[in-house]
Amino acid sequence: PSMQNISGRTQLERELQQFLHIPHVIVTSGNSDAQPWVKKEMSRACVDEMIQTLCPEDVVAVAGGTTLATLAESVTPHPNLKQVTFVPARGGLGENVDLQSNTISAALARSANAHYRLLHVPDQVSDLAYESLTQEPGIQELLELIRSPRMVLHSVGDAYTMATRRNADEEKLDRLKNLNAVAESFGYYFDGKGNVVQKEKTVGLQLDELGERQKVVTIAGGASKADAIIAYMTYRPSDLLITDEGAAEAIQSFA
Ligand code: F6P
């Protein structure tokens, strides 16, 4: 990349930090909607961040999706990662197994030569089953790890795209449309103003319980995710946003 491109991106990063109230934004080149290699670029930035931040014994909660799946492919063993434990942020959310957080946290651990724990909780459970499952000592212990990790790695998706990918029926899609849902993350759906308009029933990390000790890293790129990124960051600005030029320029046009 030319010097001009680099300084242009630095400028974009500063503008996004201000507009989204995020302490740190990294913008990589390209647009992941059109160029698959861009997810690799974003992943490399995330790996650098993981190496800088993480210490042995740290717990990292990871979400699902294609962006995080690319991250799992991009990690390589490093002394700072080898004693880390990766845990899924949530139970399954009706996604293809390759994109579920259990699969991705195991893949991350394998690539990093680190540890992982699986959350064995099915997708759709009755209220009664949900209550008794979360009382199980093994699951409770894991939930404690999941709810107070050192780092959270996740992406944000467009609400409609995510609901469709999870095989939502017409009625659910209509409901989300009526609620003006534009973003999805961790099974929460958000409207354009950053209000939570719907929650999927799933066991795991609770967004509202995240505090100062958790470094939340959002990796989300592609111009098509601009609305979703703005909505999510209005609800809860992350500590670090790793995005691409495609999304960054689209977000900037809203500023
Ligand atoms: O399903 C897990 C998840 O992290 C969602 O919360 C998010 O909306 C989505 O994946 C992002 O998927 P992708 O990286 O494929 O765009």
For 129-157, write each residue's pLDDT tens digit: 888 888 999 999 999 999 989 999 999 99
**Mind listing the pLDDT tens digit for each residue in 93-128?**
778 889 999 999 999 999 999 999 999 887 667 888
Q: Best mutation site among 100, 102, 184, 227 for ligand 1, i.e. most ligand atoms within 8 A of its Cβ?
A: 184
Its ipTM equals 0.97
225 CB under 6 A from ligand 1?
Answer: no
> Contact, 87 vs 145, CB < 8 A?
yes
Ligand 1 close to Cβ of residue 185 (< 6 A): yes
Would you say the CB of residue 64 lies under 6 angstroms from ligand 1? yes
Model confidence, pTM: 0.95
At 141 the three-state DSSP class reads helix
The residue behind tokens 């958000």 is 190
In sequence order, the β-bridge partners of residue 156 are none
Residue 202: CB within 6 Å of ligand 1?
Answer: no
- Closest by alpha carbon to 247, among 105, 96, 38? 38
Q: At what angle do helices 66-74 and 37-53 cross, to 10 degrees?
A: 60
Which stretches of the chain score pLDDT less than 70?
A: 1-4, 123-124
pLDDT at 8: 82
Rounded CA separation 225/213 (Å): 27
Q: What angle do CA 243, 245, 250 make, to 5 degrees?
A: 95
Predicted pLDDT of residue 14? 97
Of 67, 159, 50, nearest in space to 104 by CA: 67
Distance 142 CA to ligand 1 centre (A): 22
The alpha carbon of 185 and the centre of ligand 1 are apart by a number of angstroms equal to 7
